[in-house]
Amino acid sequence: MFTLAPLPDTTVDFKTWTWEQIQPYYDELASRPLDASNIEQWLRDWTHLGELLTESYSRLSTAVDLNTTDKEAETAFFNFLDTIDPKMRAAEQKLKEKLLASKLEPKGFEIALRNIRSDAEIFRDENLPLFTQVTKLGKEYDRIKGAQTVNWDGEELTVYQLQKYVVSPDRAIREKAWRGKMERNLQDRQALNELWTKMLPLRWQIAKNAGFASFRDYVWRTYYRFDYTPDDCLRFHDAIEKTVVPAVNRLVERKRQLFKIETIRPWDVDSHMNVDPLNRPSLKPYGSIAELESKAANIFNYVDPELGEEFEAMRRGNLLDLENRKGKAPGGYCTSFNRERRPFIFMNAVGLHDDVQTLLHEAGHSFHVFETAHLPYIQQLDVPMEFCEVASMSMELLAQPYLTNDKGGFYTSADAARAMSEHLEGMLFFWPYMAIVDAFQHWVYTSGEAALDPAACDAKWGELSERFMGYQDWSGLEDIKVTGWHRKLHIYQVPFYYIEYGLAQLGAAQVWANSLKSQADATAAYRRGLALGGTKALPELFATAGAKLAFDADTLGQSVELIESTLNKLHAM
């Protein structure tokens, strides 16, 4: 136990602590003798301190996302970044070195030790201020995107609020909305290009400081990608081109015929929208955020009563902020408040079925947080991102049988079948888009100075779009087409974090295939996988959940075949 005054149990006051208040606890851990008799207590004390700090970061960052115009929240977060985060990273490094020097290997800590060794090897003091600069630039991206609004028939709408018109069955309306959204994005083209040219050199310098030839090599270590290589990613891109792109082309041709149009324009079909070719109105699953929450709660209770109770705990604990509003940062995510061992879901719901899917997805992440709460050490909560996304994407599919009104869900049987069809179609459309994003980043971080030229980035994005999504007719829209990389926040904020979605979707498709044989068994395996946290290597996490980590065309092709055959049945209905 600490010989100092006890640490707070919560972050209520701790998040305002100065480094002068925090440092003595790191110093005490660094100076405490360490052996087999006290290693567990030492790790628990380190965990307590780490939980308070990581939760403080999450709460301060989330406060900025909830209102990007709140200068007080921004100041508090930036103060943490400037005065706490770099010193915390340096102090953490000393504790990692102390643990490694002890040669102790606590039970269940094998993967954590592997990761700590990696962190220790690539840590550099000179990178600490660079991390802070990159994080601040990421918030600038949020500020730019969060300020984007469009005048729609005299009403000022955020680009998220405009989305309900982008999926209108009226082609003229959705074209107008799509153009309005994209032209508003183009107004920030110069600002986003300038932001890019500030970010990229910082990332190069971070990698160089750590002794890596490229930022890609550096990321592979920081993301603990010990179980696959960059070449595996390229092989996965090829598998998508071989097995998914033809399936998407067949699906697009069906839609083109149903639309009775000559070519597919971007406002007709893409990986981010579900436009009904039968001209039915968009699905309207709920009328209020309260209804969205309550019906989702019913669904989770059907999937598994314990998961349902976990979601209810989030509702009771004010751990959901789902509605879009002006000034709110873009996107959706689930973050973890590590001291409380509780999740928080951030979304931008506007009344569409995509909101339901996003909530199901982020709830999968939240269940991961709950299922790992039993693990004693904070380092065991560091789960490979590829498997984190299995948690979320599998939940989207495991929840599908319970979307109907008779289960307390959102839809009639016919609309639930339509929702399932749209979801499976979205899976097919997603893999090629994911390949564009990931392949683009492989190019960015292996092409040297060329990637610093926004025009070269535009050209590469356009080239990859033709390779993987050539079904779209972009005539007269070339500027919008080639700046697609501006519209993907991962490229700006979390580089190389996108292949995880593609690999996880393949894992989730396998979990879904298992559920078609036994929903109960598949859900139980899913939960067993989640409960492992970061205590096992990636292939074992997949296997425990009932899936296989794979990059080959054969494994991917099996899932594509299941999706296509299911879609054929749903379309026939």
Domain boundaries, the chain: 11-104
Contacts of 285 (CB under 8 A, 6+ apart): 292, 295, 351, 352, 353, 355, 356, 410, 411, 419
Which among 164, 161, 166 is positioned nearest to 149, based on CA atoms?
A: 161
Which among 466, 559, 66, 487 is positioned nearest to 272, based on CA atoms?
A: 487
First to last CA, the chain: 64
> What Å distances lie between residue 430 and 47, 247, 259, 481, 564, CA to CA?
38, 12, 21, 17, 14
| Number of Cβ atoms within 10 Å of the Cβ of 435 | 27
CA distance 141 to 491: 11
CA distance 131 to 136: 9
Length of the chain equals 573
| Number of Cβ atoms within 10 Å of the Cβ of 404 | 19
Per residue of the chain (573 residues), give pLDDT as tens.
788 899 999 999 999 999 999 999 999 999 999 999 999 999 999 999 999 999 999 999 999 999 999 999 999 999 999 999 999 999 999 999 999 999 999 989 999 999 999 999 999 999 999 999 999 999 899 999 989 999 999 999 988 788 889 888 889 999 999 999 999 999 999 999 999 999 999 999 999 999 999 999 999 999 999 999 999 999 999 999 999 999 999 999 999 999 999 999 999 987 677 778 887 888 899 999 999 999 999 999 999 999 999 999 999 999 999 999 989 998 899 999 999 999 999 999 999 898 999 999 999 999 999 999 999 999 999 999 999 999 999 999 999 999 999 999 999 999 999 999 999 999 999 999 999 999 999 999 999 999 999 999 999 999 999 999 999 999 999 999 999 999 999 999 999 999 999 999 999 999 999 999 999 999 999 999 999 999 999 999 999 999 999 999 999 999 999 999 999 999 887
